[in-house]
Amino acid sequence: MKHQIILIIFKLIFSINFLIIKITKKDFLLKLKEFYESKCYTAIKILNKNLVFFTPNHLTKWLVNTTLTKEPETINWINNFKKKKIIFWDIGANLGLYSIYAAIKHKNIFIYSFEPSVNNLRILSRNIFINNLEKKIIINQIPLTNKKNKYLTMSQRSFIEGDALNTFGEKFNFEGKKMKSTHNYQIYGTTIDSLVNTKSTQLPNYIKIDVDGIEHLILLGGKEDAAIAEQVYQLHKNNTINLCGKLNLNQSASIIQQSHKVITSDTGLMHIAAAYKKDIISLWGNTIPEFGMGPYFAGKNSQILEVKNLSCRPCSKLGYKKCPKGHFKCMNDIDFKAVQF
């Protein structure tokens, strides 16, 4: 009944606006929308601080008003961040509610809010700005997936700001069913490993991933990883289980948590292992851990394997896919006999 009354009022206003346009050549509704949005702010108190959020519709207003009650386990998790220097990746930030909460809760924190949805970006950016948090929160508009450096389809189920349940680069929704979208566009995306390798983004010690059903694709890498894993498996079938590309995020983290040692290159999985304080054997080739990308807080028996005193190493801040000199000594000359199992 309420919806029908609102619809009748809207049709009446729309008809009046049509007459105004005919007479004055000006759109009354557009001006009304601008005026209305200038008043669409919701003030709430979080951790004894007065915060303001841009809430241009019922959904955004509800999300803001339920910040502390909708997902209490997420709030408790953020409350327990305990690193001296906290780097928090909020993947699927939406309006930025948890990014902003974390920024208010912790002084020693820097946050990357990942949000590719064009519907939510303007609200996310405004919420960060009006709460004076632009120095603690950076927006990353690049969606993360298992496909490296690709322009893929971002599918959104509606044009409503604050809405979620979208998908990137896939044809299925959060339930694994065919995605029914009302808004599609091509956007650049990449993998966590690729982003980390650019050295432009600080490595996280806390990650929240809420991307509506494609979480498992984000951390496990692309097809090239699966191919290499299969090669290793074929050489050591008797004592190897190949799980590459087969696990979701929680399962991958669980496998690492249960591991005795983790052998890895400089990847996102290495840093998850470090977060669990696992003993890590990390291999370093054309770049070096001194650039700040080493496995922080790793187990006390961790090892870094590298060829020191090689005149051409590091060959750049990021390294190259192919050795510029053609010999690839930074990897081929690693002394694996030094590994302590």
Sign of CA dihedral 134, 137, 141, 142: positive
If you search the block for the tokens 């990942």, which residue do you land on? Answer: 114
* C-alpha distances in Å from residue 88, one per residue of 71, 219, 306: 18, 16, 29
Q: Helix, strand or coil for residue 189?
A: strand
Please state which architecture CATH assigns to domain 221-338.
3-Layer(aba) Sandwich (3.40)
Beta bridge pairs of residue 283: 305
Walk along the chain (341 residues) and give the pLDDT tens digit of each residue: 667 887 887 788 878 877 888 888 888 778 777 878 888 999 999 999 999 999 999 999 999 999 888 888 889 889 988 888 899 999 889 999 999 999 999 999 999 999 999 899 999 999 999 999 999 999 999 888 877 888 998 888 888 888 887 888 877 766 667 778 888 999 999 887 788 777 778 878 888 877 765 655 544 454 556 767 776 666 666 667 777 777 766 677 777 887 878 888 777 778 888 888 888 888 888 888 777 667 776 777 888 888 888 888 888 766 677 788 888 888 888 887 667 65
Between CA 16 and CA 62 the distance in angstroms is 31
Whether 41-218 shares its CATH topology with 221-338 is answered yes
**Residue 276 half-sphere exposure toward CB, CA atoms < 13 A:** 19
* Record: fold of 41-218: Rossmann fold (3.40.50)
Q: Is the pTM of this model over 0.75?
A: no
- Total count of residues recorded for the chain: 341
Give domain limits for the chain: 1-39, 41-218, 221-338
